[in-house]
Structure 1
Amino acid sequence: MNGEIKFEGVGFHYVPGIEVLQDINLEINPGENVALVGSTGAGKSTLVTLIHRFADVTEGKITVDGHDLREVTRKSLVSQMSMVLQDPYLFSGTVKENIRYRHEEASDEAIVDAARDVGAHDFIMALENGYDTELAERGANLSVGQRQLLSFARAIVGNPRILILDEATANIDTHTEILIQKALRRVLEDRTSIVIAHRLSTIRDADKIVVVNQGRVAEVGTHQELLELGGVYARLHAVNYGLRTDKSPGTFDEAALAPSPADDN
């Protein structure tokens, strides 16, 4: 798998007549890092749900390397695609078992290599029994940042060509934030990646930013291109860089994505 993804006239609804996505046309090149931004309910999560085939399109088609996703088995997709959720799923079991989840063929060496790659190895080795340490349900005996690093290790242990990531928004300490940003760069390297992005640092580094608004693709471009466009993304960026003092810098104020009257003309 090369990792080329195309949306061609894609529409989707859960209830007939109530469209969640409408006329989505988008091309993601192999190895490209794409950031999805938009307000809650805009359709970002639905887009990645369709790519991962948790549901099928109701109009148009999505292709991966030219193959209609509806003709690709879930088993085949899982072997080539990983998804990291904002709240990582960790279960009661060892650290090693959690990283190996859905990749039972992964050797102990591959697990350690994946953990090293994302910066998780040191904290794992500091645990009572290292990789054999038992985790509480949902990883309750780990910090938010540690859970995220384990989820990154799990995501790359199978060496997927496509990675889908819903970036965590939880408050974490500065040291862990730096570790996670380094891990994120390593995880996204040389893979087609789609990130539901909340941090401006992640978005600025993306090859392509896709702004989703009311079930449609509103804008597509690089960080600089969209700033120069002066539309939805530019307003969002302005809010997050101090033009309003009631918002914390570095994460999105989704209200900034509400269309202005000028956008309707």
Structure 2
Amino acid sequence: MKYGAHLNYALRNINLTINPGEKIGIVGRTGAGKSSLAKVLFRLIHENTSGSILIDGQDISEFGVGDYRPRLGMIPQESTMLDGSVRRNLDPLQQFSAEDISGQQQLFGLCRVIMRKRKIVVLDEATANVDLETDRSVQELIRKEFSDCTVLTIAHRLETIMKSDRIIVMDRGAIAEIGTPQELLSKDGMFAQLVETSDFGQ
């Protein structure tokens, strides 16, 4: 994937299988391709791409965008806030009763996705702007509420992804390493260097 025909590849040679319900951490320095991976999954990039993404064996290009995107949940670093009440921010389309509705701005995106019960959830630096204690509480909530979901977490803190089933280390648009946290730490490769320097590229 490129952001323009004459630009370098933002993603290249990605070949990856993620199992249903798996928790995946995605790390890498700034510009490594972490957020680009999320953008192609959500079909936010239409040109200068090749290859395919299959979900349950079905190519996502076969879905209409209006049918496809609502199946996924995204919790970005900056959640959109609307003028008005807490209720309007949690449920802008008025799809839920008062009993369904459970803050800080960074937690609104999390609440929206929890309410909609998506099976695939992407957390794109979702807790970057909260303190460590709140981050721990959010991660605990995510483990509980999304236990049956496939979760991809783009991380800026080591703690955020150390309980992942597998970690993907991105570098210059490609997958540099992949494995369990323990496997990657024992390899003394790029992930180990990122951990040692705490350079997770915000």
Shift in alpha-carbon separation, 1:194–1:238, aligned structure 2, 3 A: same
Q: Could you say which structure has the larger radius of gyration?
A: 1
Cα distance in structure 2, aligned partners of 1:34 and 1:110? 29
Please say if 1:32 is aligned against 2:22.
yes
* In 2: Cα distance, 1:33 partner to 1:173 partner: 20
Structure 2 CA distance for aligned equivalents of residues 79 and 16 of structure 1? 29
Equivalent AA in structure 1 for residue 36 of structure 2: T
- 1:67 aligns with 58
Contact 1:79–1:158, Cα closer than 8 Å, also in 2? no
- Cα contact 2:71–2:119 (8 A) shared by 1: yes
The whole-number CA distance in structure 1 between the counterparts of 2:42 and 2:144 is 22
Q: Bigger relative contact order, structure 1 or 2, given CA contacts below 8 A and separation 6+?
A: 2
Q: What residue number does 2:129 align with?
A: 170
Instruction: Specify the alignment match of 2:77 in structure 1.
Output: 86
Which has a greater percent of helix? Answer: 1
Q: Deviations over 1:205-245 (max 9, x none)?
A: 001100000010000001000011111001111223xxxxx
Q: Which amino acid aligns with 1:63?
A: L
Gaps of 5+ in 2: none
Secondary structure, aligned partner of 2:123: strand
Distance apart, 1:201 and its partner CA:
1.3
Aligned to 2:88: 97
> Structure 2: how far apart are the matches of 1:93 and 1:46?
32
Corresponding position of 1:188: 146
Identity %: 36
Tell me the SS of whatever aligns to 2:122.
strand
Q: 1:22 aligns with which of 12, 16, 21?
A: 12
Aligned alpha-carbon RMSD (Å): 2.0
The amino acid of 2:4's aligned partner reads: V
Match of 2:177 among 210, 215, 219: 219
Give TM-score, length-normalised by structure 1: 0.69
What amino acid is aligned across from residue 129 of structure 2 in structure 1? A
Partner of 2:189: 231
- The Cα shift of 1:110 comes to 2.2
Name the structure where strand makes up a greater proportion of residues. 1
- Where does structure 1 lack aligned partners over 5 or more consecutive residues? 1-11, 116-141, 241-251, 256-265
